Chain A
Amino acid sequence: AQTVTQSQPEMSVQEAETVTLSCTYDTSENNYYLFWYKQPPSRQMILVIRQEAYKQQNATENRFSVNFQKAAKSFSLKISDSQLGDTAMYFCAFLPGNGQNFVFGPGTRLSVLP
């Protein structure tokens, strides 16, 4: 069974600064996908970024980028130029290549301070 670990329950960052959220996972599969989802307070979850395990290049979406280290089974999220609207719970998630069963980590609560 796959597991996803997020070792930082809470983090804070000053507006305009950069922050990195950690995620590690455990799997014996070679084909899989990794995601970061964001859940703002009292609002629904939205996708931030996704990474295919077979791709060596790290995914980037505007101010969001990942550092995917397949051998180390690490998938961290970097948020540059943090904005107040980035305040949210951030969930790292694993999806096996042949399944539809997402495995989510416990989340990191990020607060962006003015």
Chain B
Amino acid sequence: DTGVSQNPRHKITKRGQNVTFRCDPISEHNRLYWYRQTLGQGPEFLTYFQNEAQLEKSRLLSDRFSAERPKGSFSTLEIQRTEQGDSAMYLCASSPRGTGGPDTQYFGPGTRLTVL
């Protein structure tokens, strides 16, 4: 068990550029989550996958954001035409499917995005 990994750890981009982040969940975890965390705040839910199906999306996920999990393993989060307000830490988490009640979400180290 190597934990949830995220790449890159840091990304600096210019306004208007597209960026893509990758999340590798703990193997055999079939649930995967994306969150955004701005400085001094708690994480905000963006979206959730069960296997390859995207089951829930927050209203925070504007049409410039898209997330995929094509084979039910790793996931990517793409932000198109980045804006300075997109600057944040993007966290990924995964959890196994439990038989009842929620399972613990295991978080990755995050990707810190800075939009200049």
Q: A44–B42 contact, CB under 8 A?
A: no
How far is A44 from B44 in the complex, measured between Cα atoms in Å? 15
Q: Which residues on A sit within 8 Å (CB–CB) of B102?
A: 33, 95, 100
User: Which residues 10-38 of B have a CB within 8 angstroms of A?
Assistant: 31, 33, 35
B contacts with A, residue count (CB < 8 A): 25
Of chain B, the residue at the smallest CB distance from A47 is: B104
Q: Which residues on B sit within 8 Å (CB–CB) of A107?
A: 40-42
B66 beta carbon closer than 8 Å to chain A: no
Tell me whether A101 and B58 are in contact in the complex, defined as CB-CB below 8 angstroms, given that A33-B102, A91-B43, A106-B40 are known contacts: yes
Tell me whether A33 and B101 are in contact in the complex, defined as CB-CB below 8 angstroms, given that A46-B107, A93-B42, A103-B45 are known contacts: yes
Q: A100–B91 contact, CB under 8 A?
A: no
A99 beta carbon closer than 8 Å to chain B: yes
For this complex, into which size category does the number of interface residues on chain A fall?
20 to 34
Of chain B, the residue at the smallest CB distance from A91 is: B42
Chain A to chain B contacts (Cβ below 8 Å), 27 pairs: A37-B107, A43-B109, A44-B3, A44-B108, A44-B109, A45-B43, A45-B91, A45-B93, A47-B105, A91-B43, A93-B42, A95-B102, A100-B48, A100-B102, A101-B45, A101-B58, A102-B45, A102-B105, A104-B42, A104-B43, A104-B44, A105-B42, A106-B40, A106-B41, A106-B42, A107-B41, A107-B42
